[in-house]
Structure 1
Amino acid sequence: MTLITARPRRSILYMPGTNAKALERAKTLPTDGVILDLEDAVAPEAKEEARVAVARMVKAGGYGNREVIIRVNALNSPWGPADLEAAIEAGPDAILFPKLSTSLEVIAAHEAMEALGARPSMNLWAMIETPRAILEIASIASASTDTRLSTFVMGTNDLAKETRARLTPDRTAFHYALSASVTAARLYGLTIIDGVYNDISNVEGFAEMCWQGLNFGFDGKTLIHPSQLETCNTIFAPSAEEVAHARAVIAAFADPANAGKGVLKVDGKMTELLHLEMAQRTFAIAEAIHTRALDGES
């Protein structure tokens, strides 16, 4: 049986690079990952201060098993090249580039990381937040075959701004963009994280959008406030019933009596080899989440 390893990315919390208290607090929050932001959350006059602060925090460590991502400013901006140099020296798990809209831009970002000596394990994450990115999403995803690209992050607020479509609670105007991005990500084996929910006080609305994102196929959601973590982690984690069924599927295919069979009946349902792969991933995610809980990080 093939063993599948998986890293939970249920919750990825944005933290502004200028907020030292927030950067420190992120080390104790039950989030799967933190994006230390040098771009949208930082005013132009504070860019250099934020760069120094974020680099210092990442070098100091202390984030445990939480994935640490630095979002830099665009490489063609006044701050982007210096951001990238400082970020790579600091050594996060990934660099998040804003507004990557073509495969050539992904390749350029990759080559910039290579030129600065980024360690092999440092990934490239891409914000998907422009109309052109949506129209070229399959091409962008295909760049992952020759670059460090591993993850898409949806920038739904920027998409709303650029398309002038209304970001309604049901996100009807964005269904194509969301679905196309998930489809392209899956074609090339990428992780994909849903965009943020802006109304922090609307707990029910946030939960509904998490469920919608899960149903679209997203791995998790980007967040703008720690109060959103518990709901997000719960919804994007496999339920007890899903884990139990995954165990049953894995056990059924591992049973010597079923050797060579491509179709089985498990819990009264027709189950094929494709369901075995799904079950293995579900179980791997559940195990990883359990390990994080034992470590006190979720």
Structure 2
Amino acid sequence: MTLNLFDRSALLFLPASNPRAIAKARASAADLVILDLEDAVRPEDKIAARAAAVEAVGSSWPMPVAIRVNGTAAPEHADDLAAVTASNCDLVIMPSIRSAADISALTKPVAAMIETAAAVLDASAITRVCQALIVGTNDLAADLRLPAGAGRGSISYALQHVVLSARAAGIAAFDGVFNRLDDPEGFAAEAAESRALGFDGKTLIHPDQIAPCHAAFAPSAEELDRARRLVAAASGGADRFEGAMVEAMHVAAARRLIARYG
């Protein structure tokens, strides 16, 4: 099964152990919901969370639903994979990937979380066995031993490398979460930076982040109008358009924008 992830900018994480969060996510405008069995779930709740996630994906959802399993080093990993593979989830989220070997045997569509230095360096190989890359910025910063408050500039190479690897493979790439729930301006700025870097969307940790995420990744009215004007003016070769030289690649990009946003 192929799941189109390019048109899904807002990916919402929530603990599979929280039935209220699941109900709220089902009614949200998220483009993809990720039921988490890993970081968001306490150790004593892991088994119950797995059962709840499998039950949740057994019913109808208005959007695709993924399940994030526990990592390969976790004692729950094998049981998570068995349960999730047999479930009706649309996508498996694999955390703490170190190499393509960690996911090459999975039979369901997979999104690989790039959370370690090893995964960043092996990103090109990982793209061959998955449908999307997701940067786990918090874990990546920890793996790189960055000081608290180091900022995203410290991982700029990793972010760009993930996007480059995904684009070269023709798969989607998603930026990591923004932790400060009481800083909507900060979220909006980081989401805008994500789009500028080439990410297809961003992972979220609260439903309140969905609308600003959509806004950050959507084109402005002027950007969309310009795309329409460019397509209308295109002659099939190199053209002078509104003071700039444009070619077929610019027209193709404009058509993609129009196809998604009208």
Cα distance, 1:40 vs. partner?
A: 0.8
TM-score, with length taken from structure 1: 0.82
Q: Check the 8 A contact 2:6/2:200 in 1, yes or no.
A: no
| CA displacement, residues 47-75 of structure 1 (integer Å, 9 cap, x when unaligned) | 110011111111012x21x2211101124
Q: From the superposition, tell whether residues 13 and 174 of structure 1 become closer, same or farther in structure 2 (CA, over 3 Å).
A: same
> Matched residues in 2 for 1:12 and 1:59: separation?
20
Q: 1:84 aligns with which of 57, 81, 85?
A: 81
Give the drift of 1:251.
2.7
What is the identity percentage for the equivalent residue pairs of Structure 1 and Structure 2? 37
Letter in 1 for 2:78: P
> What is the CA–CA distance in structure 2 between the aligned matches of 1:6 and 1:16, rounded to whole Å?
22
TM-score (norm 2): 0.92
Deviation, 1:161, is 1.1
Task: State whether structure 2 residue 241 is matched by structure 1 residue 266.
Answer: yes
Query: Does the aligned pair in 2 maintain the 1:7–1:285 contact within 8 Å?
Result: no
Could you tell me which residue of structure 1 aligns to residue 256 of structure 2? 281
Please tell me the residue identity of whatever aligns with 1:23: I
Which of the pair is proportionally richer in helix? Answer: 1
Matched residue type, 2:193? Q
Query: Cα distance 1:180–1:43, how it changes in 2: closer, same or farther (>3 A)?
Result: same
Is 67-76 or 35-44 further displaced after alignment? 67-76
- Return the offset for 1:155: 0.4
Give the 5 Å matches for 1:36-75. 36-61=35-60, 63-64=61-62, 66-75=63-72
Match of 1:29 in 2: 28
Cα gap change, 1:6/1:275 in structure 2, threshold over 3 Å: closer, same or farther? farther
Shift of 1:271: 1.4
**Counterpart of 1:215?**
196
Q: 1:164 aligned to 2:141?
A: no
Structure 1: 5+ residue runs without aligned partners?
288-298
Instruction: Judge conservation of contact 2:6–2:172 (CA < 8 Å) in 1.
Output: no
Q: Match for 2:99 among 86, 102, 105?
A: 102
Q: For residues 6 and 74 of structure 1, do their structure 2 counterparts lie closer, same or farther at Cα, with a shift above 3 Å needed?
A: closer
Instruction: Summarize the alignment of residues 137-216 of structure 1 with structure 2, pairs less than 5 Å apart.
Output: 137-141=123-127, 144=128, 147=129, 149-166=130-147, 168=149, 170-216=151-197
Task: Verify the 8 A CA contact 1:167 1:173 in the aligned structure 2.
Answer: no
2: CA distance between counterparts of 1:58 and 1:7? 22
Report deviation, 1:222: 0.6
Deviation at residue 133 of structure 1 after TM alignment: 0.9
- Structure 2: which 5+ runs fail to align? none
How many residues align structurally? 259
* Divergent runs of 4+, >3 A: 166-170
